[in-house]
A and B are shown apart, each in its own frame.
With several copies, the nearest count.
Chain A
Amino acid sequence: MQRIINDPDHLVDEMVEGFTLTHHDIVAPTGNPRVLKYINAPVAGKVGIVTGGGSGHKPAFIGYIGEDMIDAVAVGEIFSSPTGRSFYDAIKAADSGKGVAVLYGNYSGDNMNVKMAKAEAEDDGITVKSVVANDDVPSAPASERDKRRGVAGEILMWKVGGAKAAMGANLDDVIAAAQKAIDNTRSIGIGLSPCTIPAVGKPNFEIEPGKMELGIGHHGEPGIRVADLTTADEMAEMCLDTILPDLPFAAGDDVVALVSGLGATPVSELYVFYRKVNQILGSKNMTVFKSYVGNYFTSLEMMGVTLTLMKVDSELKTLIDHKANSVALKQF
């Protein structure tokens, strides 16, 4: 394992420390070393936005803390949900009295830990509501959408929820906007190489050279199919063939596209991939309102790419276009 670490057991703590040192203009520590918050959180009169999840997805989750974005994040071990206490502390750090929206991804650990945190926070008189991202199409059939995992679509959910809160909306309206965002969002990933959790020391799955895993999860969860490695253009087609019919997206739709690398793929290649996505959408008479291409939500040093599409109406467009100042997403 060729990696830049010290004791794997201290990896997350040291990462959080380095992150806080670098981004002290945006992010502040809290009493809980596994909770980071926006320097100005809680923002008076604003619904608090909280998320959290396992580490190893940089810039997710802490890279999205910031102005008009996320107020506080609970940080877990690599690929492992944060503790209930951390979610609770994040809720406390975000609450200005207007309630807190916990916008997180659908993983059983996160579901349980958020549940515990919510119960505790409500005992303190904080109103907490949540939206569970489930944008990962290959992870369950449409009939069991509540079982689908949350992946890079979470970023668009945070963007929309964060903007809505920043505009002064109340908790129910923030929750409704975030729910609308994720309901209109679909994602899929392709894995080209495995990743190694440092404490484990070896890859926990294999992808044979010449093969790729269509529908892979953000922790290397197996996809829907192992296929022969193909061209970037065909990958884009396969991805769109899976997600377009699911919402469904249709001619005339305006969409936001987000292409993220999984960690080790050269960013140039993400643009090659996006080029074809854009072409296909154009040929189907869909318009890309805005696109994001880069390493937005990774899986350690996995090779691969994820594609996320969100169908946008005028409300979502306004929220997506709203300014944001986080480490990983800056719009002005």
Chain B
Amino acid sequence: MEYFLNSEGSVVVRDIINEIRSNRDYLGEIDGAIGDGDHGINMNKGFSMAGERINQSHSFSEAAKTLGNVLMMEIGGSMGPLYGTLFKRFFRETKDHDRITAEIVLKMLESALDGVKEIGGADVGDKTMIDTLAPAVSAMRAATISHCSFRDALMKSLEAGREGRDSTKDMVARIGRSARLGERSRGVLDAGAVSCCIIMESMTESIPAILRND
């Protein structure tokens, strides 16, 4: 059985934080094309603040909770509630487990997707982060059912997430600040879809490095 120890997992969250921070300007640029250009700042600020409160001694669940709470309560914007919900769901679905398996990661992603849909009211095709998250969850589910390795499941999930992210390019935004530009929102990636994919990429790098098998 493949798993990583919850107690060893804060690195996964810390890596996500670092990745978001180093993509600050890139995310701002993408948001600037059809949004208001602040996605990089918003993400960087929230993730940095949380980063200061998370260290190696924390578990994955604790780290996710801290990040979720900071985003939810102290960041505002759209990103606060959306990614706040996402990481709080990561916490909620893992907190009772010492060992995090692919099944648990799947549950946590499914729950996060539900939470984000609920609070934001968006769905696949609206040109949002959901266009990354939803296919990533589906692929993770399929991979888990067909008993792929944890690493392969993550890879397949990421691949689907990347395709989902890229699919936003041809979409017309229907939600958020960049919505209702009609045709003018077509041709550019969605900023939230990109940041969500960065999170998936980071997890797909970090988790395999701490996997155990017994």
Contacts and interface: CB of A to CB of B under 8 A. Distances in A.
Interface of A: 9, 54, 76-86, 107-109, 111-113, 115-116, 139-140, 144, 147-149, 197, 199-200, 204-205, 217, 219-222
A222 B184 CA distance: 8
B36 A79 contact: yes
A112 B119 contact: yes
Contact of A221 (B28, B36, B42, B76): B36
A219 B36 contact: yes
Interface of B: 28, 31-32, 34-38, 40-42, 45, 72-82, 119-121, 175-181, 184
A112 B73 contact: no
B37 A200 contact: yes
Given A77-B42, A112-B119, A219 B177 contact: yes
Contact of A108 (B28, B37, B74, B177): B177
B78 A108 contact: yes
Given A77-B76, A204-B28, A115 B38 contact: no
B31 A204 contact: yes
Q: Which 9 A-B pairs have the closest CB atoms?
A: A204-B37, A204-B32, A219-B36, A80-B77, A109-B78, A112-B81, A83-B76, A85-B73, A199-B41
Nearest to A220: B36
Contacts of B77: 54, 76-77, 80-81, 109
Given A77-B76, A204-B38, 13 more contacts: A80-B38, A82-B76, A84-B72, A84-B81, A109-B81, A112-B81, A115-B81, A204-B32, A204-B35, A217-B177, A219-B36, A221-B178, A221-B181
Given A108-B120, A112-B82, A83 B75 contact: yes
B23 to A, nearest CB: 14
Contact of A80 (B42, B72, B82, B178): B42
